Structure formats: structure tokens, C-alpha cells
């Protein structure tokens, strides 16, 4: 079986579903749910899986269907919710995304430190979906990564 989706993980309210909709070119209403949502190109992983370490096993199982994992941190608020070395649990490449990059620019270095601490390597993508910042670059990178 060929892995065909991007798993997107992040804390509650960081913009996961908004990013997933942008990757899937979906322009409909935003659906907030505690369920895992499979899109044409993505797996929208519930934030509860990140916030409760007992749920990591479910996230690791979901990632078996993914060719990469997007790990999001929210620049508008920087709670440290990921475990140290978090991405080592996955067998696929991890891509770091700093969401809401247009808010609280003073938090950018904290977000970068968090991504490094959890094991995500550069490049890091700074995005703001409502303002269209960084989305096309991220999508291009993700689909080029899949082709490698």
C-alpha cells in the first residue's frame, strides 16, 4: 500500500483544520470535531492526541498511513505541549510549521526552539492562512517531498 496522506498535528486552536482545508483546496465551512478527518491529501489529527500522552499510540498508528507529518506550533501562544524528541516516534519525515506568523512576532524564536526540541529539522514554514502567507510555499514543499 502506498502512503498517500499528510498527517497534521498540533495543539487546539493552532489552525490545523484551516491548514488542512488549504492543503486539500477545500473552501467550505470549517468543521470542528474531536474525530480524525481523512481528506484527499491529509489526516487531520485531533489535538487531544497531542495533549494527552496516553493517546500518542493512536497518533503513531494514524501516521502509518502518512508519507509525512506536519507538526504545528502557534506563534500567537506558545504552550509547550510536545514531548522532547516527539518526532522520533514517527517513521516518516516531519515538517515544522509556525502558524499565525502574523501575530505575536516576539514569539517566533520560542516557536523555533520548540520545533528543535521536539526533533523537527529545518526548514520551518511560517504561515498565516487568512492572510495567505506561506501556504503555497508549504504546499509546494510538501508535494515535492512526496515525489522524492
CA distances from 34 to 12, 49, 54, 116 (A): 10, 10, 16, 28
- Residue predicted with more confidence, 53 or 18: 18
Thinking of the domain 5-147, which architecture would CATH place it in? 3-Layer(aba) Sandwich (3.40)
Would you give the DSSP letter of residue 87? G
Domain ranges of the chain: 5-147
DSSP, collapsed to helix, strand or coil, labels residue 77 as: coil
Write down the pTM of the prediction: 0.92
The predicted-structure confidence for 96-137, as pLDDT tens digits, reads as follows 999 999 999 999 999 999 999 999 999 999 999 889 999 999
Count how many Cα atoms sit within 13 Å of the Cα of residue 128 in the half-sphere of its side chain: 11
Amino acid at each position: 500500500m502506498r502512503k498517500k496522506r499528510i498527517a497534521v498535528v498540533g495543539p487546539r486552536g493552532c489552525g490545523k483544520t484551516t491548514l488542512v482545508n488549504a492543503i486539500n483546496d477545500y473552501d467550505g465551512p470549517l468543521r470542528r470535531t474531536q474525530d480524525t478527518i481523512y481528506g484527499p491529501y491529509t489526516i487531520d489529527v485531533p489535538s487531544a492526541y497531542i495533549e494527552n500522552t496516553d493517546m500518542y499510540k493512536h497518533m503513531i498508528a494514524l501516521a502509518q498511513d502518512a508519507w509525512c507529518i506536519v507538526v504545528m506550533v502557534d506563534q500567537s501562544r506558545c504552550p509547550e505541549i510536545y514531548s522532547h524528541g516527539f518526532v522520533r516516534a514517527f517513521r516518516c519525515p516531519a515538517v515544522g510549521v509556525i502558524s499565525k506568523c502574523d501575530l505575536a512576532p516576539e514569539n517566533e524564536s520560542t516557536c523555533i526552539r520548540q520545533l528543535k526540541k521536539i526533533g523537527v529539522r529545518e526548514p520551518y514554514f511560517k504561515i498565516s492562512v487568512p492572510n495567505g502567507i506561506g501556504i503555497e510555499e508549504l504546499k509546494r514543499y510538501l508535494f515535492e517531498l512526496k515525489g522524492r
